[in-house]
Structure 1
Amino acid sequence: MNTDKDDFTLLEISDTGSIGTRLTATFFDRRFEIYGAYYRLWYTLERILDNNGDVILEVVDPSSESGDQKIVGTRFDITDDYQDPRSGLRLDISGWYNAKEGIEPEYLLLDFNTTAYIPMGKRSTWVFNYFHSDAKIFEKGETDRAIVADEMGLDCETIVDADDKQRCNELIDTVVDGNTYGTASALGGFSRLRSYSQGRYSGAHSRFWGTEFRWNLTDEFTPFNFYLIRDIRTAIQASFFYEIGSTTEKTSDLYNTTRSSYGLGLRMITASGAVFRGDFAYGNEGFQPNIFIGYPWEL
């Protein structure tokens, strides 16, 4: 996590695909939910690119990689409104089982997400969120760097440029760390640490705290029809937020390095439950706009 804005590489993949299914059972007017899901994805790594999009290394004999996840989870909801809560508490707990496949490890990802809503006047809400994610290893994956490089088709020693060679080796180190400790839910993107790119920071353990003031500028019931979108607008909302998070491979190192985001947003709330959201966040790596559907901290 202790990196600069330009300290990253890009992976170019092809032949990507995924399938999945989810079953949810709800009880007591959606106060309590349990769910199970299965997802499988596949892809082929083609090449490594630097932060400018220039090729660092072509993969030797690229082959398809795949993996699956089996998920069980539950939600406890004691808010005043399931779609657009203004008071109450919501708790989500989920487990994501990742089977050993190829050089990858067998591990369980445990996510815990709790959000408190405090009404402020008749229209507005002050929201607090705490999220943590931990990977529990059952069986390590391959940790020999030479074998990992060979399986991925990466021959870093053929790279002439010293910086590019280092980036290639750092990618192998990242894979070895994931095979050793597992990988928790990442921080960065539309939901948590919004001033950073999607999945910017990852490790075996993640911690996140956030607060957001949601100021409803209107309280209405206005039908609208915009091309393919037909709904009823119930509110125009402004938001002001601050977030801080940490990711590490070992729990003892949590909070040694943190990253934060702050900013403001503008949203349209609809009767169907859709939230059309534009956020404008700032952090250590600069300014980042986000346009998304749905409230933050829900994913």
Structure 2
Amino acid sequence: FFLCFFMPSIVLSFEFPPERSENDAENEIGWLVAPLPIIVEGIGSSVPIAASISNVYRSTDLLMAKTLFKGDFEVSLFSISKFPVIDEKLLFSLGVTDFYMPFRSYDRGIDSGKEDYYQTLEKYNSNFVTFQSQFYNQRLEFLLTYSTGGTKLEKIFDVDGNDFSNIQSPQRNWVDHVIGTQIDLTDNHLDPSEGLRIGLLHSNTNYGLNELSDYAVDDLNITAYFPFFKTHTLLFNAFQSRSNITEKGLVDEDAVRNKFGLGCDLEKEAVACRNTETRRINYWLKRNRSSKATALGGLNRMRAYSQGRFYAANSSNYVLEYRLNYSEKRTPMNWIFLGGLRTVLQTSFFYETGSVADDISRLHQKMKSSFGVGFRAIISGLIYRFDLAKGEDGIAPTLFINYPLSLGSLGT
């Protein structure tokens, strides 16, 4: 299997690296406006409106989302991506987000159950600035990102919907530094059908609280593409993530409990509160001791599971995906909510398997899997994706822009 990644000259019968192709339709302006309903059982709902505009100025894309009607949650998001500072050699991106919405935190490790979680209702904000340099027809890329964020917890909910608001240390802030590179030896930057792509990403997370450990994460992402028939593609993806503590926070359980307790003596449901408090204490205690690699589950990997479903100090993921481009006809679209130049309609079938572990020697001892089908459309350089995946937790849909299996914003 790993020969596919490390010995391409042997396993690839076609010319390597393949000749680079481009499609001028990728530079056409396109747009999408759509509602994004958010429904969290026992907490509330909201319907923000999202809009994306591709190639609004050369390669520049805009993404916006805003809650326009009163709901239980608030979403405000704006980002500008790939603004050319120096031709197409240096690209600039920035983004601002403000959320008032729930986030789910599962128990650590590959053995956590479907209902082993608590949810936090938070006022969350973040900002980022990214510089990307691309050379040799986008075959070589470098990325540098600086981001800051903060959050304030309003309530914590257990799995049964009980809420607790006497939260100690409800606020935290952080600063992230990310540096990455990608070597793209494929035939097409946007929709490759043959070749090899290798990405490396290093990130450092520094918290504003001395009680929380700072940590670094190193990710490796390798994808090999093989053409089948005239318009089909088989891809193999291997992903590895490793993390380590750079500055230790509190690692004593009593100290963590005193700092991050829920004041359960003041709550009506004291027993339920203490169970949730223990779950929260364990989350931060283990994270302080062992750090946290890139999680599995959600939009990008292990699509049958919730966002961030499985996490530990180390993670790995392997994917086999077969993509069928059943239409490559250039079709102008001028609908009110969707427009641009459509160049590809695609169906995909995929199988994923992955694992997480604090002890790297046990990383592959127990694996989780996910499989499903996807439908994609490439319109004016943006990939609109709907995936439906099944795993042990059930069936999960994904509606997103961009292909899965990416590494941060490398290659986007």
**TM-score (normalizing by structure 2):** 0.68
Count of residues in Structure 1 that have an aligned counterpart in Structure 2: 296
Aligned residue runs from structure 1 range 105-120, under 5 A: 105-120=213-228
Who is 2:189 aligned against? 82
What SS class does the counterpart of residue 186 from structure 1 fall into?
coil
Contact 1:206 1:246 in 2 (8 A): yes
Shift of 1:137: 1.6
Letter in 1 for 2:258: D
Whether the 8 Å CA contact 1:100–1:141 is kept in 2: the answer is no
Equivalent residue for 2:200, pick from 70, 74, 93: 93
1:192 to 2:301 alignment: yes
User: What residue in structure 1 maps to residue 180 of structure 2?
Assistant: 73
Rounded to whole Å, the distance in 1 between the matches of 2:172 and 2:333 is: 45
* Structure 1: tracts of 5 or more residues without a match: none
Residue 126 of structure 2 corresponds to residue 18 of structure 1: yes
CA distance in 2, matches of 1:106, 1:266: 39
Alpha carbons of structure 1 residues 132 and 65: separation in structure 2 relative to 1, 3 Å: same
Contact 1:88/1:118 (CA < 8 Å) preserved in 2?
yes
Corresponding letter in the other structure for 2:346 = Q
Q: CA offsets, 1:76-103, max 9 Å, x none?
A: 0000000110101111101001225311
Instruction: Give distance in 1, aligned partners of 2:250 and 2:375.
Output: 46
Alpha-carbon distance between aligned partners in 2 of 1:22 and 1:2, rounded to the nearest angstrom: 36
The residue type equivalent to 1:99 in the other structure is N
Question: SS at 2:303's partner residue?
Answer: coil
Counterpart residue number, 1:251: 360
Change (3 A) 1:241 1:201: same
> CA separation in 2, counterparts of 1:252 and 1:158?
44
Task: Report how far residue 62 of structure 1 moved.
Answer: 5.4
The Cα shift of 1:63 comes to: 4.2
- How far 1:229 sits from its partner (Å)? 3.5
Matching of residue 290 in structure 1 with residue 398 in structure 2: yes
Larger mean CA deviation between 17-26 and 146-155 belongs to: 146-155
1:28-78 deviation digits (Å, cap 9, x = unpaired): 1111011111011100122221224331x3234654210011011101000
The sequence identity of aligned pairs, in percent, is: 32
Distance 2:133 2:214 in 1: 28
- Determine if contact 2:168/2:260 at 8 Å carries over to the other structure: no
Where does 1:157-168 land on structure 2 (aligned, <5 Å)?
Answer: 162=271, 164-168=273-277
What is the correspondence of 1:226-265 to structure 2 with a 5 Å cutoff?
Answer: 226-265=335-374
Query: Where has structure 1 moved over 4 Å in runs of 4 or more?
Result: 156-164
CA contact (8 A) 1:156 1:169 kept: no
CA distance in 2, matches of 1:94, 1:8: 29
Match of 2:317 among 190, 193, 208: 208
Which runs of 5 or more residues in structure 2 are unaligned? 1-109
Query: Aligned to 1:174, what secondary structure does the other structure show?
Result: helix
Q: 2:331 aligns with which of 198, 214, 222?
A: 222
Q: Give the alignment partner of residue 266 of structure 1, picking from 350, 375, 390.
A: 375
TM-score (norm 1): 0.93
Structure 1 vs Structure 2 CA RMSD: 1.8
Match status 1:179 vs 2:288: yes
Asked whether the equivalents of residues 374 and 387 of structure 2 are also in contact (C-alpha less than 8 Å), the reply is: yes
Counterpart AA for 1:241: F
Residue type at the aligned position of 2:189: Y
Partner Cα distance (2:373, 2:113) in 1: 24
| Aligned twin of 1:278 | 386
